[in-house]
Amino acid sequence: MTFNMPAGPFAALAPVTLAIPQGRFISLIGPSGCGKSTIFNIVAGLLQPSGGRVFIDGVDATGTIGRVGYMLQKDLLLPWRTVLDNVILGMEIQGVPLNAARERALPLLRRYGLSGFEYLYPNALSGGMRQRAALLRTLLFDTDIMLLDEPFGALDAQTKSHMQEWLLQLWGDFGKTVVFVTHDVEEAIYLSDQMYVMATRPGRLVETIPVPIERPRQRTVTLSSEFIAIKERCMRLLTEAHKSALEEAA
């Protein structure tokens, strides 16, 4: 992906090939500026790539919006709408009648930890509750693919841990394909079937790391030799990529 800048063309992202099987949980991990969000914007149809194509279910979806659910780190809940009416926003945009959308969403709010909060406004919710509402809104956009861009990055450690478990429950129940961006190596390993490690200058894929740890995963898996080996491999790749970027900038 190349942007035209006043100083000349800027290569933000080198050619990247990602082939993600349906129903998998994939993480992109790398330093700021490596192109993770650019990839998401291209897949979501918000950016037209300067080269390459995006295929979803074998169909060319390049530049097409509405084919994926996309959630940013900020929950972006509308303060003038109740939790319920925030969650159904995607369905409304797709033309689902208001009453039908609410009937579909209510059981999910109650099943996934937002019972009693349905008719409150976002300012009454904790950070974790707001992220739950935002994730359910993304889920109810009703696409096969969910792009989650650091959804837990602003949460404290305990809330983050709870939200990871909650997300895995949601993923297991609905079988969506999840592409997850994070700077947290342990989070990526714990959640994912496979990780893509990226580097900068330009943004590029340096290695694909499978995570062959059996599911369901317990928190104690982070102490296992297999988990630690994957973490060390990933950290080594990130350190090498950072060192290379500094040398190129010098």
Domain for residue 7, yes or no? no
Domain for residue 1, yes or no? no
Domain for residue 16, yes or no? no
Q: What is the pTM of this model?
A: 0.91
State the first-to-last Cα distance of the chain, in angstroms, to the nearest integer: 23
Asked if 202 and 14 touch (Cβ cutoff 8 Å), the reply is: yes
Provide the residue range defining the domain that includes 131: 22-249
Domain count, the chain: 1
Q: What is the CATH number of the domain that holds 226?
A: 3.40.50.300
Domain for residue 29, yes or no? yes
Domain for residue 48, yes or no? yes
Domain for residue 14, yes or no? no
Domain for residue 5, yes or no? no
Print pLDDT tens along the chain (250 aa): 576 666 666 667 888 888 999 999 999 998 877 888 889 999 999 988 888 899 998 899 999 988 999 998 888 999 999 999 999 998 998 889 999 999 999 999 999 989 999 999 999 999 999 999 999 999 998 889 999 999 998 888 999 999 999 999 999 999 999 999 999 999 999 999 999 999 887 888 999 999 999 999 999 999 999 999 999 999 999 988 777 766 666 5
DSSP one-letter code for 217: P
Locate the DSSP E strands across the chain: 2-5, 8-11, 25-29, 55-56, 59-60, 69-71, 145-149, 177-182, 194-199, 204-210
Residues facing residue 145 across a β-bridge: 177
Domain for residue 185, yes or no? yes
